[in-house]
Amino acid sequence: MSVGLSALLDDIAKLASLASTSLDDVATQAAKAGAKAAGVVIDDAAVTPRYVTGFSPARELPIIWRIAYGSLRNKIVILLPAALALSFLAPSAIMPLLMLGGVYLCYEGVKKLYEILFPHAAHEHEGSLVAPTVESATLEDQKIASAIATDFILSAEIMAITLSTVADRSVPMQAFVLALVGLGITAAVYGAVAIIVKADDAGLALARSSTIGSLKHRAGCALAKGMPYFLKALGGVGTAAMIWVGGGIIVHGLETFGWTAIAHFMHAAGAAVAAFAPVAKGFVAWLVEATISGIVGIVVGMLAIPAMSYVVSPLWRVARAYLPARAQT
């Protein structure tokens, strides 16, 4: 009896050790995937605050919560099963889809630069696009629906990047990592967005509750006045991250399919410049490679703008007009 109990306890200990190792592996893979998706995450955090602009402070957190819930539903209910099915049925399609998402990131990033440099042409470009039809009762519902639609694209890219990181792992491991990344990134992004959006209110409250001229009063005023500039800076970082990440994804995808010239040049340039750096050689090499990825992203984004105006949008307009007609017959 004691021998059987000892054997049972030994088996339980082995299972516990195996489970612990598996959880550590899941956490490690999730951390790696999250790091690769950092650029998309930054852009997600930079884009979302604009959807609560113009609403009363009392509605800001409820709106963010509804967007966060929609984002989590996108990742867990729709994108996670789709990613697993893709990994099982058509793993060779992961990289092309990832590159397509990279093109979208480049397009969105360069479009923002285009709006700054050529506002009139950018307005014409926006007018040529097919606007999504959103049936909502209120402006708040429309904003939330628009935010969730934008988040779906960014979430799809995050999940695709995550899947590419664990493509050689078992299906349960892929599912755990995808779920962990989806939950973690959603919590991190929308938690940060909530803090950012309410920071100016916190600054005003601090300034009003303290003596004029005191340290607390000055800190509150600085926080309230500084947040608009911080949001602009965050938007700039998000735009740069979109272009850099999108360009990097495309370069890596081309390398995977045998087009290695850009990747080899990028690595060689990074190593060559880093050789002259007295310190932080690894950072210098990364900065050079990121810059080249950004240049690739800008070129791809510039090509994507006319493609969206003259190819994608007209085709989508025809498809949208044709599909309802087919459904009625």
SS3 content of the chain, % helix, strand, coil (to 5): 90, 0, 10
Going by C-beta distance under 8 Å and a sequence separation of 6 or more, which residues neighbour residue 310? 128
pLDDT in tens, 45-97: 666 676 666 677 777 788 888 888 988 998 889 888 888 888 788 888 878 88
* Res 131: pLDDT: 56
- Give the chain's residues under pLDDT 70: 1-48, 50-54, 130-137, 323-329
Q: Among candidates 252, 256, 322, which has minimal Cα distance to 292?
A: 252
Q: Is the pTM of this model over 0.75?
A: no
Q: Cα separation of 319 and 47, whole Å?
A: 29
Q: How many CA atoms lie within 13 A of 223 on its CB side?
A: 20
pLDDT in tens, 117-155: 888 877 777 777 755 554 545 777 777 887 787 778 778
* Res 302: pLDDT: 93
* Res 328: pLDDT: 44
Q: What is the residue type of 293? A: S
Going by C-beta distance under 8 Å and a sequence separation of 6 or more, which residues neighbour residue 219? 203, 206
Q: Which residues of 108-136 are buried (b: 16+ CB within 10 A; e: fewer)?
A: bbbbbbbeeeeeeebeebeeeeeeeeeee
SS3 sequence of 13-25: HHHHHHHHHHHHH
* Res 234: pLDDT: 75
300 C-beta neighbours (distance < 10 Å), count: 24
* Res 251: pLDDT: 92
The burial class, CB within 10 Å (0-12 / 13-18 / 19+), for 328 is exposed
* Res 21: pLDDT: 47
Domain boundaries, the chain: 21-243
Sign of the dihedral defined by the CA atoms of residues 172, 251, 74, 83, in that order = negative
Phi, psi of 315 (to 5 degrees): -65, -40
